[in-house]
Amino acid sequence: MINYLARRIAISIAILFAVSFAVYLIFAILPFDPAALTCGKSCNDPGIIEANRKRLGYDLPIWTQYVVFLKGLFLGRTFGEGAATIFCPAPSFGYSFQEHACVTNSILEALPVTLSLAIGALVLWLILGVGLGIVAARYRGRAADTGSTIFVLIGTSLPTFLTGLLLLVFVVVKWRILPYPSGNYTPLFENPLEWLNTMILPWITLAFAYAALYTRFVRNAVIETLSEDFIRTARAKGLSEKVVLRKHTLRAALAPLTTMAGLDFAGLLGGAILTEAVFNLPGLGRLSLGAVVDFDLPIIVATTILAATIVIFMNLLVDVLYAFIDPRVRVAA
């Protein structure tokens, strides 16, 4: 197991370095001057542009810029000289002239919002999707199965932004059950009730779409597992249907769900842009979207690399968890 884990970690680190350098290279070959974007879209003062180019290190070769970027992640980074010096402590992703702040600070402000959104949606769609999938498989061909099929069709057909807008129109505007999203985020431990009021509709929006996919997957996996020989053997031994379902069927059928949940969770942590935009949540999705609109290159690069890091880490975590669930994975790897 240690050798398996060591190989996976080494591969993940290599992929992370490759992805981060690829992101740097892509933005280096784009047909615009990144220094000109640091003083606004209408900036045309060559002196200011040149000063910002040297201040941010854009006058250096791309490989040198990348090495300086890596050093900043571990040691912090200083921008400018003299009285205009700005120091961004480690891990430093650079400095944003649009936000007038270190990029890491902007990310740390947005990350708890996206993290709350992703964790809440994950729990909700797992409970709903796994539960409905098991019920649909157990009562195959009956009313419960038909109802789950209708739920799957609606959930997979509606885009998340439309689901969110419908919730806003009816729950917030028409029925006035919840207040209109203010765009402010209240931390969980500061005011749990306000935090719940802010996050409940975005959770439902994302969970509705994902739960539909998980319902279909779990239903098919459970039905397929119920036809296996070891299930017939368990029934022949006189075990009840509840025991067969709980101890034998679900363990085999839901093991692949670990991979799905891990990768879907990583995607949400990368930023649920549409959902955050609909509900005016100041998370990573809205931060990334604003950076694209304002041509805020440091934030674009940082959020892209962060999203890739999250996906790579979740892949590693899924591989390790799957190796614990199914020891055959360690042998084959």
Compute the C-alpha angle 245/316/277, nearest 5°.
90
Asked if the model's pLDDT at residue 314 lies above 70, the reply is yes
Q: Distance (Å, rounded) from C-alpha 20 to C-alpha 106?
A: 19
DSSP state of 40: -
Dihedral, CA atoms, 242, 247, 249, 253, nearest 10 degrees?
Answer: 130
Cα–Cα distance list, 198 to 127, 171, 183, 331 (Å) = 21, 13, 9, 46
Neighbouring CB atoms inside 10 A of 39's CB total: 16
Tell me the per-residue pLDDT of 114-144, one tens digit each, with 9 for 90 and over: 999 999 999 999 999 999 999 999 889 899 9
Q: Determine what percent of the chain is predicted with pLDDT higher than 70.
A: 95
Compute the C-alpha angle 116/210/153, nearest 5°.
150
Neighbouring CB atoms inside 10 A of 268's CB total: 23
Where exactly are the structural domains of the chain?
2-103, 109-296
Neighbouring CB atoms inside 10 A of 81's CB total: 9
Asked if the model's pLDDT at residue 326 lies above 70, the reply is no
Tell me the per-residue pLDDT of 264-300, one tens digit each, with 9 for 90 and over: 998 888 768 889 988 989 999 889 888 888 888 889 8
CATH number of 109-296: 1.10.3720.10
Q: Is 94 helix (H, G, I), strand (E, B) or coil?
A: coil
Q: Which two tokens stand for residue 162?
A: 């439309």
Q: Which residues contact 100 (CB under 8 A, 6 or more apart)?
A: none
Per-residue burial over 87-124, b = 16 or more CB atoms within 10 Å of its CB, e = otherwise: ebeeebbbbbbbbeebbbebbebbbebbebbbebbbeb
Instruction: Taking residues 20-43, report their average pLDDT.
Output: 77
As beta bridge partners, residue 135 has: none
Neighbouring CB atoms inside 10 A of 237's CB total: 9
Predicted local distance difference test score (pLDDT) of residue 76 = 93
Instruction: Taking residues 212-238, report their average pLDDT.
Output: 89
Pair 224, 278: CB distance under 8 Å = no
